[in-house]
Amino acid sequence: MKKTLIANWKENPKNEKMAIALFRAATKVRQLDNIQTIICPPFIYLEKIAGIAQSLHKKNHPLLGAQDVFWEDKGAYTGEVGPAMLKKLGVKYVIVGHSERRQWLNETDSMINKKIKAALDAGLHIILCVGESAVVRKKGIVASERFVKSQLVKDLKGISFDKKTSSQLMVAYEPIWAIGTGRSSTPKEAALMISYIKKTLTSHFAFRNFKVLYGGSVNNKNVDSYIQCNEIDGALVGGASLKAETWKAMVGKRT
Ligand code: PGA
């Protein structure tokens, strides 16, 4: 199975010209054969970038993801963007439940659950983010596992996965204390939690054929230590995906 590296640009870069340049740079690298990349720009750049992506006939070019999705396709929902709108643009993946949305926009597990259901129905692939805070982590590994399990159970409530929809799900384990702090989880710690997440998804939901990634301060210096772990199916990358050279060093052939 290929490893997946996802670029989460968050609210960056500050203009379309820079976004296009960053995307174009990502398409110019000779990607490692064993990885698939997904780039998630802000909504406002998606259409333009989708146009560029469609004009590429390269094998292994980056796929397109959005950073969020709403659960209704149309209506009186100011500011929202629905699954059908994203599909129409050529978006294949959506990040759902990122901790920054949970924290700054008070996104709840029940909202996340509705978003996942709507996006799956539309045929989008989900990148569900889960992960514990520093306060929970201080209580130990069992408390952290319990916290992550409770997020998974609530976020995926009522979703029954057959073989096809199972492959539409990816989970990113992103401990909040590791996001944007430079204090990444060790590959060993991340692998332990990822094994736990895989066990939970299989036993609780009977999911099969899904990927679980690590996210939190992944960069060009430490990425190999994660993707070389059997349990870790890839990485969700924030800050380090915003510098063309760093991203290229992460996804390109090693010299
Ligand atoms: P980071 O962000 O790589 O800057 O820590 C990861 C994320 O929030 O997805």
Q: For the segment 185-202, what is each residue's pLDDT rounded down to a tens digit? A: 999 999 999 999 999 999
What is the pLDDT at residue 255? Answer: 65
Which residue's CA is the nearest one to ligand 1's atom 3?
A: 238
**Tell me: the pLDDT tens digits for 86-109?**
999 999 999 999 999 999 999 999
Residues 6+ apart with CB under 8 A from 240: 218, 219, 220, 246, 247, 250
State the virtual CA torsion across 201, 144, 9, 72 in degrees, nearest 10. 50
Which helix (H) or strand (E) segment holds residue 202: the answer is helix 187-205
CA distances from 87 to 1, 50, 69, 92 (A): 25, 11, 11, 7
What letters, b where the CB count within 10 A reaches 16 and e where it falls short, cover 45-62? bbeebbeebeeeeeeebb
- Index of the ligand 1 atom closest to the CA of residue 237: 3
Q: How far apart, in whole angstroms, are the C-alpha atoms of residue 252 and residue 29? A: 6
pLDDT of residue 112: 98
**φ and ψ at residue 211, rounded to 5 degrees:** -110, 145
pLDDT attached to residue 135: 97
Q: How many CB atoms sit inside 10 A of residue 82's CB? A: 20
Is 216 a pocket residue for ligand 1 (Cβ < 6 Å)?
yes
Closest CA to 148 of 158, 133, 168, 166: 133
**Please, what is the average pLDDT of the chain?**
94
Residue minimizing CA distance to atom 1 of ligand 1: 238
Residue 14 Cα to ligand 1 midpoint, Å, equals 18
User: How many Å lie between the centroid of ligand 1 and the Cα of residue 184?
Assistant: 10
- Domains and their CATH numbers in the chain: 3-251 (3.20.20.70)
> Model-level pTM?
0.96
List b or e across 229-243, with b for residues whose CB sees 16 or more CB atoms inside 10 angstroms: bebbbbbbbbbbbbe
The pLDDT-based confidence of 164 (bands split at 50, 70, 90) is low
pLDDT in tens, 2-29: 999 999 999 999 999 999 999 999 999 8
Question: In which band, very low, low, confident or very high, does the pLDDT at 54 lie, cut at 50, 70 and 90?
Answer: confident
CA pair distance 127, 178, nearest whole angstrom: 18
Q: Quick one: tokens of 103?
A: 């924290």
